């Protein structure tokens, strides 16, 4: 008879060796662990929209009559509306179950076991995660102290035979964009350049109109942050047309569920409302930035996104992170060498800023 040990031997060795992705914990889990009430929680750890989704999404989901029918595998309606929103043809657009799924699909399309993927840490953890799962090899080209990418070293790494490079712009967790000149430089290599614009609606900076000029450029976007749909999982990519054909071929047919497609459509139909919340968040980012800047033991990095990265100059970031948690204030701490003293704070509502700043002042 086959034993659990035999099963262990059947598991792909690269899966055994890979480090796990460390996600943020859901609120109800944190609340139970810390014995605080859910209403007291100030959640500034996920870069989510504190104002939630468009009210039109809630009404449309409540009224939808076709949950028993499979959704459109070609996402026709959604892609058509995305064409209007992005100004790029439907032939260049594909939606995914979050942009996370598109990261995975891109790597499935281009990686053979052992193929290299260039990553520029500190950055979004899904790039190395999905590379590992796909059997690829991560080549890390660390960012500079100001978190800009090292263009020369990155270019060298991708032109040496790597398949794909990922650049988050604005970068998570540092908040800075990568200038177009740097991306154009990388596009000269014979590799796929993925520009992840998850926070585009906060930065206003995009490479999307360039996708038709460069056969190796991909732009990723998501409804999770600006449109408040993180829980429904819907993102999209802007790709050269031939890549859309291949991705259409390898994706699961019903990858974006009916509720997610509907919610994304309703969001695109309520842009005035959503742009209003973005404006409020940007204004609050400015106020949060100023308040954090007044704390002399913090170095605050500039942000073109809906979160702010800070470095604790005097004191201990882990301890501050834990102490805030006890008070029901959740922010993000990353236990990596480049980010050891850093905290990432999502921009919340004004009252969240006030409570956070009061807690940080008490801490010292
Ligand atoms: C949040 C985030 C994503 C994830 O987007 P989903 O659409 O929710 O999967 C992708 N990239 C970056 C850089 C992010 O910060």
Give the tens place of pLDDT for each residue, 275-328. Answer: 999 999 999 999 999 999 999 999 999 999 999 999 999 999 999 999 999 999
pLDDT tens-digit series, residues 144-179: 999 999 999 999 999 999 999 999 999 999 999 999
Task: Please tell me if the CB atom of residue 224 comes closer than 6 angstroms to any atom of ligand 1.
Answer: yes
Whether residue 364 has pLDDT greater than 70: no
Dist. CA 6 → ligand 1 center (Å) = 37
pLDDT of residue 322: 93
pLDDT of residue 304: 98
- Residue bearing tokens 């360039």: 210
Architecture of domain 4-51+272-363: Alpha-Beta Complex (3.90)
The CA distance from 82 to 265, in Å, is: 9
The CA distance from 169 to 252, in Å, is: 28
Q: Please report which confidence band the pLDDT of residue 19 belongs to, taking 50, 70 and 90 as the band edges.
A: confident
End-to-end CA gap in the chain: 62
The mean pLDDT of the chain is: 96
pLDDT of residue 149: 98
Residue closest via CA to ligand 1's atom 1 equals 198
Between residues 201 and 13, the one the model is more confident about: 201
Report DSSP state, residue 187. Answer: T
Q: Please report which confidence band the pLDDT of residue 229 belongs to, taking 50, 70 and 90 as the band edges.
A: very high
pLDDT of residue 312: 95
Chain centroid to CA 150:
21
Pocket test for ligand 1, best of 24, 100, 203 (most atoms within 8 A of CB): 100
pLDDT of residue 175: 98
- Residue bearing tokens 């999502």: 346
Task: Please tell me if the CB atom of residue 198 comes closer than 6 angstroms to any atom of ligand 1.
Answer: yes
**CATH number, domain 55-270, options 3.40.640.10, 3.30.420.40, 1.10.730.10, 3.40.50.2300:** 3.40.640.10
**Cβ–Cβ < 8 Å for 110, 192:** yes
- Residue bearing tokens 């968040």: 281
**Cβ–Cβ < 8 Å for 356, 42:** yes
Residue closest via CA to ligand 1's atom 7 equals 98
pLDDT tens-digit series, residues 338-353: 998 999 999 999 999 9
Average pLDDT over residues 81-108: 98
Could you tell me where the DSSP H helices lie in the chain? 4-10, 13-17, 27-34, 55-63, 76-86, 98-110, 126-133, 151-159, 180-186, 200-203, 241-250, 258-268, 271-293, 317-326, 350-363
Which residues lie across from 116 on neighbouring strands?
137
Whether residue 38 has pLDDT greater than 90: no
pLDDT of residue 363: 72
Domain ranges of the chain: 4-51+272-363, 55-270
pLDDT of residue 23: 78
Long-range contacts of residues 133-136, Cβ cutoff 8 Å, at least 24 apart: 133/15, 133/18, 133/104, 134/104, 134/107, 134/108, 135/12, 135/14, 135/111, 136/107, 136/111, 136/163
The CA distance from 4 to 1, in Å, is: 10
Whether residue 24 has pLDDT greater than 80: no
List Cβ neighbours of 7 (8 Å cut-off, separation of 6 or more). none
Whether residue 263 has pLDDT greater than 90: yes
Least confident range of 5-14, 19-28, 98-107, 213-222: 19-28
pLDDT of residue 31: 82
Sheet with 332-333, side-by-side order of all strands: 298-300, 307-312, 342-346, 332-333
pLDDT of residue 139: 98
Q: Please choose, from the candidates 187, 140, 191, 127, the residue with its C-alpha nearest in 3D space to the C-alpha of residue 164.
A: 191
Pocket test for ligand 1, best of 170, 222, 256 (most atoms within 8 A of CB): 222
Pocket test for ligand 1, best of 123, 126, 304 (most atoms within 8 A of CB): 126
């Amino acid at each position: 008879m086959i034993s659990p040990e035999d099963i262990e031997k059947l598991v792909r060795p690269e899966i055994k060796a890979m480090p796990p992705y460390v996600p943020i914990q859901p609120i109800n889990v944190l609340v139970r662990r810390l014995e605080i009430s859910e209403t007291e929680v100030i959640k500034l750890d996920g870069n989510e929209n504190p104002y939630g989704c468009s009210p039109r999404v809630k009404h449309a989901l409540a009224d939808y009559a076709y949950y028993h029918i499979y959704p459109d595998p070609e996402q026709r309606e959604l892609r058509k509306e995305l064409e209007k929103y992005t100004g790029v043809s439907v032939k260049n657009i594909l939606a995914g179950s979050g942009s996370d799924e598109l990261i995975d699909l891109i790597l499935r399309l281009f990686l053979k076991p052992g193929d290299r993927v260039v990553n520029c840490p500190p950055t979004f953890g899904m790039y190395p995660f999905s590379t590992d799962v796909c059997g690829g090899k991560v080549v890390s080209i660390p960012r500079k102290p100001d978190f800009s990418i090292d263009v020369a070293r990155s270019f060298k790494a991708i032109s040496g035979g790597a398949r794909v490079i990922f650049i988050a712009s604005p970068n998570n967790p540092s908040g800075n964009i990568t200038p177009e000149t740097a991306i154009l430089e990388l596009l000269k290599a014979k590799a796929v350049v993925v520009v992840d614009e998850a926070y585009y609606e906060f930065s206003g900076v995009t490479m999307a109109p360039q996708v038709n000029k460069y056969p190796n450029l991909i732009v990723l976007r998501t409804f999770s942050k600006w449109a408040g749909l993180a829980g429904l999982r819907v993102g999209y990519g802007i790709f050269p047309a031939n890549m859309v054909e291949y991705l259409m071929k390898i994706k699961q047919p019903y990858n974006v569920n009916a509720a997610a497609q509907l919610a994304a459509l309703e969001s695109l139909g309520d842009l005035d409302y959503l742009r209003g919340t973005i404006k409020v968040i940007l204004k609050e980012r400015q106020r949060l930035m100023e308040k954090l800047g007044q704390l002399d033991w913090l170095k605050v990095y500039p942000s073109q996104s809906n979160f702010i990265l800070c470095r604790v100059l005097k004191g201990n970031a882990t301890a501050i992170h834990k102490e805030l948690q006890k008070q029901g204030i959740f922010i993000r701490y990353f236990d990596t060498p480049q980010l050891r003293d850093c905290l990432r704070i999502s921009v919340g509502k004004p009252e969240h800023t006030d409570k956070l700043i009061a807690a940080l002042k008490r801490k010292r």
